[in-house]
Amino acid sequence: MEFFTNDLLAARRTMAFSLGFHIIFASIGMVMPFFMAASHYLYLKTNNIVYLKLTKMWSKGVAILFATGAVTGTVLSFELGLLWPEFMKHAGPIFGMPFSWEGTAFFLEAIAIGIFFYGWNRIPKWVHWFSGLMVGVSGLLSGIFIVAANSWMNTPSGFDWVNGKAINIDPVAAMFNKHWFQQALHMSLAAFVSVGFAVGGIHAYFYLKNKKTVLNAKALKIALTFGAIAAILQPLSGHLSAQKVAENQPLKLAAMEAHFKTEKRASLIIGGIPNLEKQEVEHAIKIPGALSFLAFNSFDAEVVGLDQFPKDEWPPVLIVHVAFQIMVALGSMLILVGGIFLFYSYRKNWKPLPVWLLRTLIAFIPAGFIALEAGWTVTEVGRQPWIIYNIMKTKDAVSTVPGLGFHFLFFVILYIIVGSACVYLLYRLIKSYQGDINVD
């Protein structure tokens, strides 16, 4: 297998896999606390016991997922050094600032989690509610900080690169790099979309299966209200991201769009398979001028194509293009489903949601997470061959420790076991709550 002979490849796969795994739990840790806080709030206001039960059920699930998020996050912070020492040696002092603030956010999050999970009936109820909200707020903050670190890799700033060394380091400028806001916004919304649709869909499933219990109906409504609103905002934020990419990483944009030739009035390509030999996209729908408009707000703007760059600096065009198409396609469908959901749940004369809509929601359980992973693939694979864009190549950053293939294999096996155990536990948890409305 190639992994065992090619340490660079193994390191990249390990990083991709551990991040792809962590992000699922991290998103849940960022978003579920808000759902719980909403349900908890409704309980405190209405005294409806169903909301209490829902809050408790969710908080048990979150405890399981949160622990997994915390330990996989710990792995990641070591892995930055275990896999990419050359990168960290140079980048640590520059992009470390968001990490050092993130430390505080993690702390507050972990403290709030302890208070919230174990504080039932021990502290004043609104203080308790507030601790739950703080879990979400600090989780969201940690997500924003870490994404700022990532956006620095895409649009590095806050230093001068002279003879392979960074001088004049300005950590503040590095943290507030050109892309941080767009990326942080887009990621935060993405977390709400993915978790909202996943949780809503799961409750739709149990709702249909278990003769329409109130618990599931309420859960579905809270989760999908958040999810649907975020889904509607998501393309706007994606558009802002795309404009930043067009401005600062034209090569990545060209790869996303499989845009081979520089041209004015560039057309937006939907679907299709890029043919690298012929340098064109086959079987695609083309909308003339749309790409120019999306990237630069003008139908006649010139969009730089792959032809402007040496071939050995191209990212893997096929992967980036397909991943981008998947994200946008799912994003568009999620707006539609989300919009329909909002219409049916908030119309004047409330009626139960139609079965076909519930079935659709079940089908969309993984959609948000798939879009999220696809989006990260666009960002990260699209940056290749650079680890710090236009500054340092990934191949120059990798560790000299041999046998990284085993490292990869080791963590894949470990995470598969941990991940399956999580799924199994959650399934049993939710099932155990499907009986009558007794609060434990």
- DSSP symbols for 174-195: HHT-TTHHHHHHHHHHHHHHHH
CB-nearer residue toward ligand HEM: 25 or 35: 25
Residues within window 334-353 making contact with ligand HDD, judged by CB under 6 A:
334
- Which uninterrupted H or E stretch holds 333? helix 317-345
Query: Considering only residues 69, 196, 200, 368, which one is a binding residue for ligand HEM as defined by CB under 6 A?
Result: 69
Query: Considering only residues 39, 68, 154, 188, which one is a binding residue for other proteins as defined by CB under 8 A?
Result: 68
Based on the number of CB atoms within 10 Å of its own CB, is 77 exposed (0-12), middle (13-18) or buried (19 or more)? middle
| Distant-in-sequence, close-in-space partners of 2: CB < 8 Å, separation ≥ 6 | 9
Q: Pick from ligand HDD, other proteins, ligand HEM, none: which does 239 bind, CB < 5 to 8 A by kind?
A: ligand HDD
Query: Considering only residues 336, 428, 435, 437, which one is a binding residue for other proteins as defined by CB under 8 A?
Result: 428
| Distant-in-sequence, close-in-space partners of 329: CB < 8 Å, separation ≥ 6 | none
d(CA 236, CA 76): 31
259 binds ligand HEM (CB under 6 A): no
CB-nearer residue toward other proteins: 134 or 202: 134
The amino acid at 255? A
Q: Pick from other proteins, ligand HEM, ligand HDD, none: which does 242 bind, CB < 5 to 8 A by kind?
A: ligand HDD
Tell me the window of 74-82, 169-177, 227-235, 354-362 that interacts with ligand HEM (CB under 6 A).
74-82
Pairing of strands 285-287, 165-167: unpaired
d(CA 49, CA 41): 12
CB-nearer residue toward ligand HDD: 26 or 135: 26
Residues within window 180-209 making contact with ligand HEM, judged by CB under 6 A:
187
CB-nearer residue toward ligand HEM: 147 or 193: 147
CB 332 within 8 A of CB 367: no
CB-nearer residue toward ligand HDD: 234 or 292: 234
394 binds ligand HEM (CB under 6 A): yes
Q: Supply the minimum distance, in Å, between the C-beta of residue 172 and other proteins.
A: 7
Based on the number of CB atoms within 10 Å of its own CB, is 121 exposed (0-12), middle (13-18) or buried (19 or more)? exposed
CB-nearer residue toward ligand HEM: 64 or 290: 64
Tell me the window of 114-122, 237-245, 354-362, 389-397 that interacts with ligand HDD (CB under 6 A).
237-245
What number of chain residues touch ligand HDD (CB under 6 A)? 30
Return the SS3 of 318. helix
